[in-house]
Chains A and B, each alone.
Chain A
């Protein structure tokens, strides 16, 4: 391991240690800082997962309250964002279970057949598209809306968050092979949809 990598790892671990201690103390200023730091990334993840701006906003607030309440469970050997996204995901699953009752096994042990976290599209098609801004926002949002949430989820963790595949597997609580298969399928679907849109 190089000196720079070693220094980086130490810094990351040190930061995670400070976060863990602060969460145990329920340090309000630390929570303020973490909300600021991860606001955008968490919101984007929740939006991708739920496909709804309102639900993403509700879950955003609930996630931080849960972080506060379960802060003593955070261990510094995990990266904070991995733990944060795991909490957000569990809340989203609870939310989906309330909205779309199905067996707990189907939600937590998803197979490709039962389309985990699949939401009924209760929002108008433009609502999801309006949630995005950027040059190609409308096209990407249209393409994303047609992807199952479980595919959107891994795509955002991989290509927005730059997470390693193992980390993604930990967040989504699925085997590495499932994560890879969702990534490949998601990428193929996204490419096809965008190809059609641009054509």
Chain B
């Protein structure tokens, strides 16, 4: 029975630091600590351990902050410039797509006319039309993919 009381006191000593105690638990613990030297010693040792932990300050090199700030500024500028370039690329892709859609009927007629004039088979000039129509999008997609792959490999290399 006595052991149970001490065990509860030891649990509450740690709980007081890690979580918090209810009023009833706090009152019980305080009353117990007043009468039990062994548990009071444990409470003092716990407080001393935490005081020591809180007082332990890592040595900090101020140049680390300056170096980090400089690296961060350079990276921020790179990211902003990349974002601007990507925005320009996306805008030109969108414009290219819109122009492609609008000009598709004219282009189709142009290829058809050229096919008749040069006596090329229908399959060939239709393939030519398809290629010329998707080429800008393929090039843009390749550029975007290349830039993104390059960006992530640069980030990883850092």
Contact = CB atoms under 8 A, between A and B. Distances in A.
Given A40-B58, A187-B17, 15 more contacts: A26-B79, A31-B69, A31-B76, A40-B60, A61-B67, A64-B71, A69-B155, A132-B58, A135-B55, A140-B55, A143-B49, A144-B53, A159-B53, A187-B50, A190-B53
Nearest to A46: B58
A27 B83 CA distance: 14
A159 B60 CA distance: 19
> Which of A68, A191, A195 has the most chain B CB atoms closer than 10 A to its own CB?
A191
A57 B55 contact: no
A186 B72 CA distance: 35
Contacts of B64: 39, 43, 57, 60-61
8 contacts: A69-B79, A134-B55, A136-B52, A143-B52, A144-B56, A158-B18, A160-B53, A188-B14
Interface string B27-71: 000000000000000000110111011111111110011011101
Contacts of B117: none
B150 interface: no
B55 A35 contact: no
Interface residues of A, number: 50
B79 A35 contact: no
Contact of B58 (A28, A65, A131, A158): A131
A61 B56 contact: no
A39 B65 contact: yes
B122 interface: no
A139 B14 contact: no
Interface residues of B, number: 35
Contacts of B65: 35-36, 39
B52 A139 contact: yes
A183 interface: yes
A131 to B, nearest CB: 5
A88 interface: no
A169 interface: no
Contacts of A140: 52-53, 55-56
B77 to A, nearest CB: 7
A165 interface: yes
Interface string A45-76: 00100000100110011101100110000000
A61 B67 CA distance: 8
Contacts of B79: 26, 68-69
B158 interface: yes
A68 B72 contact: yes
B80 interface: yes
B54 A160 contact: yes
A187 B49 contact: yes
A175 to B, nearest CB: 15
Contacts of B155: 69
A180 B11 CA distance: 13
B19 interface: yes
B8 interface: no
